[in-house]
Amino acid sequence: MTIKKIGILTAGGDCPGLNAVVRAVSKNALQHGIEVLGFKNGFDGLVRNEFIHINNDLVSGILTLGGTILGSSNIANPFKYTLAPFGSAENPVDLSGAALHNFKENQLDALITIGGDGTLHMSQQFVDLGMPIVAVPKTIDNDLSATDQTFGFDSALSIATEAIDRLHTTAQSHHRVMIVETMGRYAGWIALRSAIAGGGDIVLIPEIPYNDDVIANYILERRSRGKTFSIVVAAEGAKNEAGEQAVTRTVAGSTDPVRLGGIAYKLSQMIEEKTKIESRACVLGHTQRGGTPTAFDRWLSTLYGTKALDMVLEGKFGYMASLRAFQMQEVKIADAISKLKRVDPHGEEVKAALEVGMSFGSADIG
């Protein structure tokens, strides 16, 4: 099969490195004489047939830019479309047929989708309908089991670590407890690694349920040893022993309708009540998604992008580019979405954190 024309889209949440992937795919394709259409705002552009023609001038200089020049959406699901004027949260409609029609109408030979778990699920649904798709894994959460690391994670980790570094000085000056809330959804990678790198005292992750009394007693024990401040790093998806998480709201029509957040404020109030020590909450939120990608993420994004186009040329449709032992491979999209990659409570990273004196807020760990 001769590849003459491809489409590319970025879906789900934005993150540093998206533009680097778009650049790598496009430059590789254009060198092969392949026309590239960039669909706007994720799958929404495919549904509405809104796209731009990508050339070398357009992708020149975007390697270092955060975000995505194509735009993105984490609610435009063609199979349960809720956006006006076609659908609504109360009455979602299936517009996958329109997306397929636009794919064929534009005479595309393949589509490269860049996104996380939700994007990969939709990609697999389109593969099942016969659309030739190659996927690139993107999520700051680093929770895809079929690849060693997703691009965007290293940048988010660097931002979270810098925040912890900065909060040390104000915590020490005022003898406070500072609670830093990171993203990560149902995986604790950002929280755990930034806590280790930033010298956090307590780290709370979804994989290890926490106990309020264990947290309070640990802070009081530190105080008794002359440690006048403490840093708590809490993943947004951390849960207590009753399985309770902090949820801000739900968004109908989203691939992941639950919006986690607010655990830092909850913990701050609890710690003050139990320890009588002043505490402050700092929610990093979307700062972890923004800004310039790290050198590692630029490198990784470029490898992912060039590999994705190579897979298109080889006809490896229904597959996702994957990083294994610093080598680019391909895995089936269906396998990539079968299991989330989560922190092993008994793994080396948790063990290392415990051995330098960190607490996970649990009597069962440590």
Residue 141 falls in the annotated catalytic set = yes
Please list the alpha-helical segments (H only) found in 225-280: 263-275
One-character DSSP codes across 268-297: HHHHHHHH---EEEEE-GGGGT-SPPPHHH
**6: nearest Cα among 303, 310, 302:** 310
**79: nearest Cα among 120, 108, 43, 114:** 43
Catalytic residue among 141, 154, 201, 297: 141
Give 281's strand partners. Answer: 179
Residues in the chain: 366
Which residue's structure tokens are 């079968």?
338
Which residue's structure tokens are 């998604």?
289
Using only C-alpha atoms, the chain has a radius of gyration, in whole angstroms, of 22
Cis (ω within 30 of 0) for the bond into 206? no
The strand ranges marked E within the chain are 5-10, 35-39, 51-54, 110-115, 133-137, 177-182, 202-204, 230-235, 247-250, 258-260, 279-283, 319-324, 327-332
The strand ranges marked E within 138-284 are 177-182, 202-204, 230-235, 247-250, 258-260, 279-283
Q: How many CA atoms lie within 13 A of 68 on its CB side?
A: 27
**How many angstroms from the chain centroid is the CA of residue 250?**
18
Which residue's structure tokens are 């029609």?
101
**Catalytic residue ranges:** 141
